[in-house]
C-alpha cells in the first residue's frame, strides 16, 4: 500500500469517542494515538528533540516516522487555556511533549480533522438529508416505545446522536418529554 493510501486510512479513523475535552478544547490521549499508530505501522518511531527557549517561554519539538516518512512538529509549553507558560516546570514540559507527540502523529492522518475544528473525518460526513433521516428514525423509535425503560434505552442512542448534531436537541427533548407523558398516563 502506498504512503498516500496509508495516510488516507489513518485519516478515515473516527476518533470522536476518544476525544477528551477541557475548557472547550479537544484532545486525543497520547497513549491511544500512539497505540493506533503502532497498529498501523509497527515500525513507527518518534523522537523528542531539545526544547527551544523563546524568551521566558519554551517550545518543544517532536518527530514521528511512520510508513517511511518523518514529520516534525513543534508546540509551545502551554497552560490549560492554551497560553504559553513563562518559565515552565518539568511537568508542564512533559505534558507539552506528549501533546506535541499526539499532534505530530495527526500529521500522518490520525485525528487530524479535530485540529481543523471539524467533528468527523471527511469520509464520514453526512448530508443534511441523511442527518434528518437519522433524526426521524430516532423519533419513530421513541414514539414506538411501550415503556419508560424502552424510552431510556432509545434515549442512549439519541444522546450519541446529539453529541454529533446538538442542533436537534430541542426537538428531540420535546418529543422525549411527550413520550414520557404518554407512557406515564398509560401505566
Q: What is the pLDDT of residues 32-48, one digit of tens each?
A: 999 999 999 999 999 99
Return d(Cα 10, Cα 44) in angstroms, integer.
13
Percent of the chain exceeding pLDDT 90 equals 50
Tell which of 72, 100, 123 closes a domain. Answer: 123
Tell which of 123, 142, 169 closes a domain. Answer: 123
Claim to verify: residue 35 and residue 60 sit in the same structural domain:
yes
Claim to verify: residue 174 and residue 100 sit in the same structural domain:
no
Claim to verify: residue 31 and residue 112 sit in the same structural domain:
yes
Claim to verify: residue 114 and residue 30 sit in the same structural domain:
yes
Q: What's the domain count of the chain? A: 2
Contact 46, 57 (CB under 8 A): no
Claim to verify: residue 15 and residue 76 sit in the same structural domain:
yes
Claim to verify: residue 82 and residue 170 sit in the same structural domain:
no
What is the secondary structure of 35-86 as a DSSP string?
HHHHHH-TT-EEEEEEEEEETTEEEEEEEEEETTEEEEEEEE-B-TTS-BPS
Contact 19, 102 (CB under 8 A): no
Return d(Cα 75, Cα 109) in angstroms, integer.
18
What's the pLDDT score for residue 14?
84
Claim to verify: residue 97 and residue 137 sit in the same structural domain:
no
Please, which pLDDT band fits residue 125 given cuts at 50, 70 and 90? low
- For 26-33, the CB contacts below 8 A with 24+ separation are 26/114, 27/99, 27/102, 28/102, 28/106, 28/110, 28/111, 28/114, 29/102, 30/98, 30/99, 30/101, 30/102, 33/101, 33/102, 33/105, 33/106, 33/110, 33/111
Tell which of 100, 123, 146 closes a domain. Answer: 123
The secondary structure of 15-37, three-state, reads CHHHEEEECCEEEECHHHHHHHH
What's the pLDDT score for residue 20?
80
Claim to verify: residue 19 and residue 76 sit in the same structural domain:
yes
Q: Where are the alpha helices (DSSP H) in 107-168?
A: 112-115, 128-143, 148-164
Claim to verify: residue 12 and residue 66 sit in the same structural domain:
yes
Claim to verify: residue 115 and residue 82 sit in the same structural domain:
yes
Residue 84 sits in a domain of what CATH number? 3.30.390
Grid cell of 15 as nine digits? 476518533
Claim to verify: residue 68 and residue 87 sit in the same structural domain:
yes
Claim to verify: residue 69 and residue 32 sit in the same structural domain:
yes
Return d(Cα 12, Cα 123) in angstroms, integer.
6
Domain that holds residue 11: 3-123
Q: What is the pLDDT of residues 50-98, one digit of tens each?
A: 999 999 999 999 999 999 999 999 999 998 878 899 999 999 999 999 9
Instruction: Give the predicted TM-score (pTM) of the model.
Output: 0.61
Amino acid at each position: 500500500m502506498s504512503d498516500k493510501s496509508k495516510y488516507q486510512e489513518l485519516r478515515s479513523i473516527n476518533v470522536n469517542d476518544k476525544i477528551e475535552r477541557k475548557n472547550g478544547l479537544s484532545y486525543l490521549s497520547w497513549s491511544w494515538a500512539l497505540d493506533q499508530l503502532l497498529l498501523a505501522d509497527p515500525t513507527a518511531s518518534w523522537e523528542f528533540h531539545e526544547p527551544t527557549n523563546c524568551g521566558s517561554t519554551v517550545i518543544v519539538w517532536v518527530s514521528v516516522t511512520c510508513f517511511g516518512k518523518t514529520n516534525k512538529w513543534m508546540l509551545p509549553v502551554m497552560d490549560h487555556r492554551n497560553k504559553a507558560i513563562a518559565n515552565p516546570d518539568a511537568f508542564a514540559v512533559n505534558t507539552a511533549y506528549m501533546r506535541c507527540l499526539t499532534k505530530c502523529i495527526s500529521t500522518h492522518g490520525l485525528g487530524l480533522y479535530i485540529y481543523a475544528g471539524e467533528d468527523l473525518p471527511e469520509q464520514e460526513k453526512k448530508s443534511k438529508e441523511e442527518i434528518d433521516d437519522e433524526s426521524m428514525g430516532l423519533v419513530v423509535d421513541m414514539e414506538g416505545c411501550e415503556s419508560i425503560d424502552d424510552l431510556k434505552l432509545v434515549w442512549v442512542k439519541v444522546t450519541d446522536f446529539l453529541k454529533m448534531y446538538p442542533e436537534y436537541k430541542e426537538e428531540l427533548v420535546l418529543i422525549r418529554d411527550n413520550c414520557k407523558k404518554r407512557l406515564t398516563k398509560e401505566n
